[in-house]
Structure 1
Amino acid sequence: MSYETITTTRAGNVLKLTLNRPERLNACPPQMADEIFDALRDLDGARAVLMTGEGRAFCSGADLAANADKSGTGPINGGDRAFTSLQRHYNPMIQALASVPVPVVSAVQGPAAGVGCSIALAADFVIAGKSGYFLQAFVNIGLVPDGGSSWMLPRLVGTAQATRMMMLGEKIHGEEAERIGLIYKCVADEALTAEAEALAEKLANGPTVALGLMKRNIRAGLESDFTATLLMEAQGQREAGMSQDSMEGAMSFLQKRKPAFKGA
């Protein structure tokens, strides 16, 4: 499909989704959130998603200039308008990124700020260049973090670091983000594209059914007790065990060859 704020291209089994408002540092208006959601609804056989930002930023956050009430008669950035926008546009997008049944890789250069931070961190793997940084900028304009960051950050880096990011509004650059466990890997800026594409391709050529079940179980396990998680794993093993990729994996093991997974 043709979109106005993002572009989508296919490279083999990988769907590349690029935030495409470089003149606004890829700031995310509701339309962009809706277009990301739409692009994830039908992957047309893609077995992994790679998210990037056009130009020198991943995403500088919600487009406040486009949405602000400048009349002076109401809240500029918050209030009922913000609640409605989150519920109708941004939250469905974040849910889609978290629940799409294939691995998602985000490649972060420059800022991933505000809801842009949430978009990046909603991926299963986050790779950042050394110039990349993650910023919870809400405190600087008297708002609270959104886009699921209040759920994601404590689970990724613990309460102390999450509180630091949210209440102090400090930038977390790529190398520190890797060190504290916020992201998967930090690489040199010039290596970012190649690293992210190689990872997405590797995942896209993996056992798609099993990877999707792993993704589901990881997220659900954060909210489940140990007994419930054991049952969930057993149910997932039953589903994965009935896939063609599972049969191919078993045969390749017995035949001492590399498996050729087909994503089914």
Structure 2
Amino acid sequence: MTVPANPNPVVLLDRPAPHVARLLINRPDKRNAIDHDVRQALTAAIAGIRDDGSVRALVFGGTAGVFSAGGDVPSMLGLDEAGARARMQHVAALCRMVAALRMPVVSAVEGIGAGAAVGLALLGDHIVVGAGTRILFPFLQLGLVPDWGQMLTLPRRVGVREARRILTAGVPVRGEEAQRIGLADVLVADDQVMACAIEKASELARLPMGAFARMKDRLTRVSSSLDFELQREEDDQAVSLTGDEFREGYDAFKNKRPADFIGMPGVKA
């Protein structure tokens, strides 16, 4: 029996550039609010991307010029404690999956980015906003605490003082401010957000993925002491100094050419 394709998928997957996959939340009538079906679709899509050796960078975005209005608030109503815990465990599984990706992750925050969607972006590596982008943290106004890992990821980006301010202010953080305080990495014109995100993902896709993944892991899981960090450093360099990426990098250095980490033997094109 053939199962018909879903004519209205809540998440769209495409390949906008070589070695770059893009996931777009596709609920334009709900301003791309994230519900259970979106989380499940993102989880399934990311699992496939993670295991596809030809993908070296991922872009998150939304359809119709909107990143996402955040969690689908009506779907939160009527939960008992067991239901609330099940919901948060579903969120946590997706958060862990995104954070554990060894490839670069870029978010194109067009229009509105709120709540859960901001948490998704903060789990990645690079955030692009437009001059008219509005980033919202509505948790306290809803009687909720920030989730999707934001009590960890937001202060890491902007500092505790700034995180406290924007979480309690109840007003949008606009694009220019987001870039100024470090919440976003790049500020561009509104109609250039997605193109810039794809360009950045393409740039990051050319990095040595093994070395990038080790660096990303150490930035995410900060060492508790200098001795521990130096041991991790030794472990990583013992692999890197004896690996193909260093051989390619050194040959490029010696011959004064750009390194080609994608074209190395054994790397999927």
Structure 1-normalised TM-score? 0.90
Give, in whole Å, the separation in 2 of the partners of 1:240 and 1:227: 20
Q: Which region of structure 1 is more displaced relative to structure 2, 145-154 or 59-68?
A: 59-68
Aligned CA distance change for structure 1 residues 241 and 38 (closer, same or farther; 3 Å): farther
Aligned CA distance change for structure 1 residues 26 and 106 (closer, same or farther; 3 Å): same
Give 2:10's aligned residue. Answer: 5
Give, in whole Å, the separation in 2 of the partners of 1:15 and 1:243: 26
Residue 137, structure 1, aligned to residue 138, structure 2 = yes
Residue 48, structure 1, aligned to residue 54, structure 2 = no
Give 1:196's aligned residue. Answer: 197
Give 1:62's aligned residue. Answer: 71
Per-residue deviation at 1:67? Answer: 4.0
Matches within 5 A, 1:1-264: 4-10=9-15, 11-43=17-49, 44-45=52-53, 46-69=55-78, 79-87=81-89, 89-221=90-222, 224-262=224-262, 264=267
Q: Which amino acid is the alignment partner of residue 149 of structure 1?
A: Q
Question: Does the CA-based 8 Å contact 2:67-2:110 persist in structure 1?
Answer: yes
Give, in whole Å, the separation in 2 of the partners of 1:157 and 1:184: 11
Give, in whole Å, the separation in 1 of the partners of 2:35 and 2:56: 27
Question: Does the CA-based 8 Å contact 2:110-2:194 persist in structure 1?
Answer: no
Give, in whole Å, the separation in 2 of the partners of 1:18 and 1:224: 37
Give, in whole Å, the separation in 2 of the partners of 1:220 and 1:242: 24
Question: Does the CA-based 8 Å contact 1:50-1:107 persist in structure 2?
Answer: yes
Question: Does the CA-based 8 Å contact 1:27-1:61 persist in structure 2?
Answer: yes
Q: Which amino acid is the alignment partner of residue 31 of structure 1?
A: D
Give, in whole Å, the separation in 2 of the partners of 1:172 and 1:236: 38
Give, in whole Å, the separation in 1 of the partners of 2:85 and 2:137: 18
Q: Which amino acid is the alignment partner of residue 59 of structure 1?
A: S
Question: Does the CA-based 8 Å contact 1:28-1:63 persist in structure 2?
Answer: yes
Per-residue deviation at 1:79? Answer: 4.3
Give, in whole Å, the separation in 2 of the partners of 1:204 and 1:102: 8
Give, in whole Å, the separation in 2 of the partners of 1:242 and 1:34: 39
Structure 2-normalised TM-score? 0.89
Matched residue count:
254
- Where do 5+ consecutive residues of structure 2 fail to align? none
- Where do 5+ consecutive residues of structure 1 fail to align? 70-74
Q: Which region of structure 1 is more displaced relative to structure 2, 31-40 or 92-101?
A: 31-40
Per-residue deviation at 1:224? Answer: 2.5
Per-residue deviation at 1:245? Answer: 2.2
Task: Please state whether the residue corresponding to 2:159 is helix, strand or coil.
Answer: helix
Question: Does the CA-based 8 Å contact 1:25-1:56 persist in structure 2?
Answer: no
Question: Does the CA-based 8 Å contact 2:66-2:112 persist in structure 1?
Answer: yes
Question: Does the CA-based 8 Å contact 2:102-2:213 persist in structure 1?
Answer: yes
Runs of 4+, deviation exceeding 4 Å: none
Per-residue deviation at 1:213? Answer: 1.1
Give, in whole Å, the separation in 1 of the partners of 2:126 and 2:231: 26
Q: Which amino acid is the alignment partner of residue 48 of structure 1?
A: A
Task: Please state whether the residue corresponding to 1:66 is helix, strand or coil.
Answer: helix
